[in-house]
Amino acid sequence: MQTGSFHSSTPLLLESGEVLEQYSLAYTTYGQLNADHSNVVWAVHALTGDAKVADWWSGLVGENALYNYSSHFIICANLLGSGYGSTNALSENPSTGTPYFYDFPVLSTRDLAQSLEYLRQHLKIEQIHTLIGGSLGGQVALEWAYTLGQRLQHAIIIASTAKTSPWVIGFNEAQRMAIAADNTWGQTHEDAGKKGLEAARAIAMLSYRNPSDINTKQKESEEKLDGFLAASYLRYQGSKLAKRFQAFSYWTLTKAMDSHDIGRGRGGVETALEAIQSRVLAVGVNSDLLFLAEEAQFLSQKVRTGNYGEIVSTAGHDAFLIEFAQLSSLIKKFYR
């Protein structure tokens, strides 16, 4: 594994009309480029992920996994706005010399894809064999697939959508309301909104899992009036995220997810999907209540060369981070 940091002093013009005068992206690579540079696999992480794809997708990326280090050159960059080495709201604003905090610009999935494109150009990677991402990462990957054209051979979009639904936007807004309800939100320090972030994560977990999964795994073995396992589980998940992530990045990236619309300014969703030149595998999860399987099916039907695969799991949306055997099987079938 090798880590790097790309710093761009070329201003990034954002969809909002704002300009990010300069920015940095942290990235990680595994393996080596082959002689004709035809073995590039570019992974895009989800909402709270980082560039170390072999850690959170260990069943897909690793020494003995589908994307192994002897056959592939695997790269993953920390998304702009995230807190794992890339420019975010806690980074220094060059115009003030102090952190951006609440002045950090609004980012869209298209902006995130554009920053990755500049990183690709910096690394002089002319062709990408496979671009793969799940959830928010799938949205960013789809945006990038549109602009990559013939530079991309395969796009694998997992538990994701061509346009964010009002249902998902509603979940994200409820989470941001939880952050804003924290009385430290509005203060200028890195831990602002931390307790609110814990509540936001608890809300999110209810959308990431299927009711049957929670009902089974958090089932009580005794009668009680309080102290339920489900409550403890959600509090634990909230506390766990707040220890490694910050509310500012959560706010930025959920806003980016809300913005996602592959068809914006391109004649609509169907017209934009038809313009994608790579082969596309859209993977849905049968129990996903957040990004519905039917949305992945729609995506696969509207691109030029599309395939649909489905993960069968009780885990809900999070199955794309769990069901590695099924995912590997679907991808192998797609390549064949």
Instruction: Give catalytic status of residue 317 as yes or no.
Output: yes
Bridge partners (DSSP) of residue 92 are: 99
Q: Per the residue annotation, which of 8, 135, 160, 249 is the catalytic one?
A: 135
**C-beta atoms surrounding 333 within 10 Å:** 11
Instruction: Give catalytic status of residue 135 as yes or no.
Output: yes
CA neighbor of 197 nearest in space, from 246, 234, 232, 233: 246
Q: Per the residue annotation, which of 45, 154, 260, 317 is the catalytic one?
A: 317
Q: Per the residue annotation, which of 260, 288, 300, 313 is the catalytic one?
A: 288
Strand 73-77 versus strand 40-44 pairing type: parallel
- Report how far residue 111's alpha carbon sits from residue 13's, in angstroms, rounded to the nearest whole number: 8
**C-beta atoms surrounding 323 within 10 Å:** 19
User: By the 8 A CB rule, do 43 and 55 touch?
Assistant: no
Token couple for 79: 């998304």
- Report how far residue 63's alpha carbon sits from residue 84's, in angstroms, rounded to the nearest whole number: 24
- Report how far residue 267's alpha carbon sits from residue 199's, in angstroms, rounded to the nearest whole number: 38
Q: Catalytic residues, which ones?
A: 135, 288, 317
